[in-house]
Chains A and B, each alone.
Chain A
Amino acid sequence: MKIQIDVITGFLDSGKTTYINEQIKEGRYLKEKTVIIQCENGQTEVNKNDNIYVVKCNNENSIDEEFFLEIIKEHSPLRIVVEHNGTWSIQLLLDLLDSSKLRKFCLLDRIIHTVDVNTFDVFINNMGSILTEQISLSNTIILNKTDNFPFEKLQSIRKTLKTLNKSAKVYKCITKKESNSLIYECLFSINAFPRSKGDKLFLAFTVFILGYVVFALLRGGTFSFSDIDLSRYQTFSTLFISILMQAFPFILIGVFISAIFQVLVPEEAILKVFPKNPIAAFFVAITAGIFFPICDCAIVPIAGKLVKKGVPVYCAVTFLLAAPIVDPVVIASTFYAFPGNPKIAVYRVVIGLTVAISVGIITLIFGQKDNILRNNINNSWCGCEACTVKNLKNKSIFNKIYLVFNHAGSEFLMVGRFLIIGAFLSVLAQTSLPQDILSTISSEGLISIIIMMGAAFFLSICSTSDAFIARSFTNHFPMSSVMGFMVMGAMIDIKNVFLLLGTFKRRFVIELLFIIVALAFSIITIYTLLLF
């Protein structure tokens, strides 16, 4: 029989020792020889008895394999309870317990996190990743001091916990009036639900595919997918896959750059590049794009990473919008697309930058202070290790490479699914709308600018090649609206909106989209009056 290990986390005064005492009182730790390792000197003392030994430990570094092995040798307990210090890294402890040496003797049983509901909001906003790490790694969460705590607030805490940890059992501690003892009442447990919605769909899909194959086998003897007439869907399939095939490599480049930022580049270094002075910062945001000559879809994860690393939102937004405009490949392709008319390429850069900077200025003035990243409460937005582990500096090179790949992969899967939805919708629009819709609509004046901006949005053509498509519009539409197509198309389109949704909060993306459309439209109109 292996030694069971319980780990109890939570900040000072959150009720860790009280919980242990309650457990002792209820008899959980009575029958078996138990060692309690206390890493914190709290107000409450452990109620000792014959079977319980308390070991104090005040130094995080002294907890290593030897430390545990010695305790096991000295006491040969059946259970070890680690009352962890709330400010130490739980990940390190768990890694230690997972090490092959200790796994021979011990087995992790429960990871309990205790919460003082009265201070929860303050801690989650100020302690950030230390607390979210503890919550997301627990399998049991205890809400303490809930007597007289308003019900609505308790609900909001439950909601927050749910976003951080979908599988833990959550208990509410209430005082029983008559005997003045504490009772832990199970509030909710995700494990109790049979299957999540996603699981059901996944299962249904698999069953459908398998059933289909079996059905075809029974009916036709030998089965071949080519027996089914799928040519009707071939156009859709080809267009859909083509967008993914073209965008995936660029997104991979983007997430790798983002992962390298995350793992290898310290935050201060990135912040140093972006100066405090807004004017200088705008200049940096614009020129930074020249050094990222990659497809517009690769920029999104990088911009998200900049925000996460503490770069002001307006800088990141300006960078996001300006990068595809100043991309040397985009400029060159615009030159080629309009041979003998280099002015077009210059106008595109000038107008595009005007829009990018204006959007940046608006974000600077009206930008809210809230976090705009998805899953903002936990820094582990992609749920991978690189985002939660704090002290990356101590890691070995192999470990860092592992983290880069792990992070890049997690982020790719996160962003990629939004790209898939975006590509799907874009192709649906292309194949299902009536033919020649653009040539039949009025092509005069301001309306045509809106139409072309809309076309750019829904067609989602890669910014490096949209100039060639734009050229084919020149006969039907005035130059101003073709410019609208090229400026809008490079900055934002349906594919990018979904990519942004994978990184930023929904509300921020919608606001940003409206600001971009409104500004791009008005700026192009102004330039039209001046230039064309």
Chain B
Amino acid sequence: MRVFKNYEINVDAILKSLVLLGFAVFFLTSFISGNYLFYVNPRYGLYIVFGAIAMILISVFFLKDIFKVSRRQRPNKLNYLIFLIPLVIAFVIPGGTIEPNSLHSFQMSVEAGAGTGDNEEDTEKNISERKKLREEDIIRDDGTILMNDDSFMYWYEELYINQKRYIGREIEVIGFVFRMDDFNQSEFVPARFMMVCCAADMQPGGFLSRYENASQFADNSWVKVVGTIEQTVFRNQSMPVIIAHTVEQVEKPEMEYVYPF
């Protein structure tokens, strides 16, 4: 009916708003539940909230047009279909921790932090200032170096940079068992996934460890390794190695990833 033409509902505006609101809801719920940490580094938390608020505001402004007849091009719904794909995926397949063997190893791992060898002291200062870690959180009373959720990245960089200084020190690491093709029976890495930016750039990182009965621990199982730091040459590269005294199975930590920065 012609008469009602001016009151026709603007489908285009509704679809636009729904797409944006869908993403906003997903962003907000992930932020509130903390699930966003599966996807991105925590430093993006505020950006996500900003994004959600921006999308909500935009969709409110779009909704203003609902009863305004759109005389412009008829919307091609294919455009919105593309947005629906990630939305459906995001809600149907919730993000979770990634199995190490399913992640493509574009990134090399064990020796990831290496490269520069021994260095000046000011670099060390930089790192510790940056991380703002308290001494008691990263070193036990008896002098054992503690690599936990918070201090993993600190020690990871520190031990590679100042290898010589820590030879002979005790160390305690929690990580998942990670092996590469050229490891021998007693070698493995108690590794953590490091997320620099988002899940797409995750890479496993950790120190090569040697333990006589290492083969009894399956790939990807979580272990606590206690041992002494030594220096070794692996793949023509000098790097720290943990000579393990004890290795025991542990529960996987609540947050499996570590975040540099």
Contacts and interface: CB of A to CB of B under 8 A. Distances in A.
A426 interface: yes
Nearest to A474: B115
B78 A197 contact: yes
A239 B200 contact: yes
B60 to A, nearest CB: 8
A337 to B, nearest CB: 9
Nearest to A388: B72
Contacts of B38: 238, 242
A242 B39 contact: yes
Contacts of B103: 235, 431
Interface in B215-238: 235, 237
Interface string B107-147: 11101111110011001001100100000000000000000
A338 interface: yes
Nearest to B180: A436
B71 A139 contact: yes
Contacts of B152: none
A58 interface: no
Contacts of B16: 409-410, 413
Contacts of B3: 2, 107
Contacts of A476: 108
A475 B198 contact: no
Interface string B31-44: 00000101110001
Given A2-B3, A340-B116, A472-B107, A417 B198 contact: no
Nearest to A431: B104
B74 A202 contact: no
A220 B232 CA distance: 57
Contacts of B189: none
Contact of A234 (B57, B86, B93): B93
Interface in A225-260: 225, 230-231, 233-235, 237-246, 248-250, 252, 256
Contacts of B111: 475
B58 to A, nearest CB: 4
A218 interface: no
A475 B119 CA distance: 17
Nearest to A106: B6
Interface in A432-479: 432-433, 435-439, 455, 459-462, 464-466, 468-469, 471-476
B126 A339 contact: yes
B255 interface: no
Interface residues of B, number: 90
B112 A166 contact: no
Interface centre among A136, A340, A435 (most CB of B within 10 A): A340
A241 to B, nearest CB: 5
A39 B6 CA distance: 25
Interface residues of A, number: 93
B55 A252 contact: yes
B161 to A, nearest CB: 6
Given A417-B82, A461-B201, A249 B44 contact: yes
A202 B123 contact: no
A412 B55 CA distance: 9
Given A136-B72, A402-B61, A249 B104 contact: no
B54 A256 contact: yes
Contact of A406 (B20, B61, B106, B200): B61
Contacts of A235: 98-99, 102-103
Interface centre among B59, B72, B112, B120 (most CB of A within 10 A): B72
B214 interface: no
A27 interface: no
B196 A465 contact: yes
A462 B199 CA distance: 12
Contacts of A248: 23, 27, 51
A408 interface: yes
A354 interface: no
B88 interface: yes
Given A198-B78, A413-B19, A417-B83, A94 B71 contact: yes
B115 A430 contact: no
A403 B95 CA distance: 36
Interface centre among B58, B74, B85 (most CB of A within 10 A): B58
B104 A435 contact: yes
B106 A438 contact: yes
A167 interface: yes
Interface in B72-94: 72-74, 76-86, 88-94
B2 A109 contact: yes
Interface in A329-369: 336, 338-341
B203 interface: yes
29 contacts: A98-B68, A136-B72, A167-B73, A198-B76, A201-B78, A225-B91, A235-B98, A237-B89, A238-B95, A238-B98, A240-B89, A241-B90, A243-B200, A245-B198, A249-B54, A252-B51, A339-B123, A339-B157, A340-B116, A406-B61, A406-B62, A409-B59, A409-B61, A412-B20, A417-B83, A427-B200, A431-B103, A469-B107, A475-B235
Interface of A: 2, 94, 98, 103, 107-109, 111, 136-137, 139, 164-167, 190, 196-199, 201-202, 205, 209, 225, 230-231, 233-235, 237-246, 248-250, 252, 256, 336, 338-341, 380, 383, 402, 405-406, 408-410, 412-414, 416-417, 420-421, 424, 426-427, 430-433, 435-439, 455, 459-462, 464-466, 468-469, 471-476
Ranked 7 nearest A-B pairs via Cβ: A198-B78, A242-B199, A249-B51, A465-B197, A409-B58, A242-B39, A249-B47
